[in-house]
Amino acid sequence: MRKAQVFVAVLGASSYTFAEATWSQSLPDWIASHQRMLAFYGGVPELLVFDYLKAAATKADRYTPRINETYAELAAHYQTAVLPARPYKPKDKAKAEAAVLLVERWILARWRHRTFFSLAELNAAIAGLLPALNQRPFQGRSESRQSLFEALDRPALKPLPATPYVYAEWRKARPGIDRQTAVQRA
């Protein structure tokens, strides 16, 4: 048995929510989840605000955080900016925190007693409930996340690039016998 992690993303104006399960919070899973999230939204927002995660930020600094080179390359490919939320400041990502709670209550709680035998099976189950979650009207209002997404967020999204992002990891190589350092793309 393995435990899975849940990647949750939300758009700012509409709270339109995306969720999927991954095996870990490692860089390959983080980048792949971003690619699937942007495909789900059908466009690219101007800014991606992320929680501090080792896969995304190599140096957590209040004033000059250092973004992982692979994540920065993904942002450059999609022509968007990335901004880390400040450490221990949940108000910087309040919509995401609320979306995580919503996904836990409305999607994951339904299957708390069910065992999934593959990650694909779990993601299919999550994807089956996402439309219902996004089409549910807000409490005390007639609008839903879907209707606000169509009215506010979809027109503001930039189009996806023609070619998909190709995953690559950047590493510093150790000096060789001739004492030269090299940077390689794995």
Question: What residue spans define the domains of the chain?
Answer: 5-185
Contact criterion met (CB below 8 Å) for 140 and 5: no
Q: Considering the domain 5-185 in this protein, what is its CATH number?
A: 3.30.420.10
Give the confidence band of 57 by pLDDT, cuts at 50, 70, 90.
Answer: confident
Single-letter amino acid code for the residue at 181: T
Report the C-alpha gap between 152 and 14 in whole angstroms.
7
Give the confidence band of 1 by pLDDT, cuts at 50, 70, 90.
Answer: confident
Residue pLDDT, tens place only, 120-139: 999 999 999 999 999 999 88
Phi/psi-derived region of residue 53, left when phi > 0, alpha when psi is between -120 and 50, beta in every other case: beta
pLDDT value for 151: 93
pLDDT value for 183: 54
Residue pLDDT, tens place only, 79-93: 999 888 877 777 778
State pTM to two decimals.
Answer: 0.84
**Of 53-67, 96-110, 168-182, which gets the smallest average pLDDT?**
168-182
In this predicted structure, the answer to whether residue 184 has a pLDDT above a threshold of 70 is no
What is the average pLDDT across 158-181?
78
In this predicted structure, the answer to whether residue 95 has a pLDDT above a threshold of 80 is yes
Report the C-alpha gap between 40 and 146 in whole angstroms.
13
Report the C-alpha gap between 8 and 37 in whole angstroms.
9
Residue located via tokens 């690219």: 44
Give the confidence band of 169 by pLDDT, cuts at 50, 70, 90.
Answer: confident
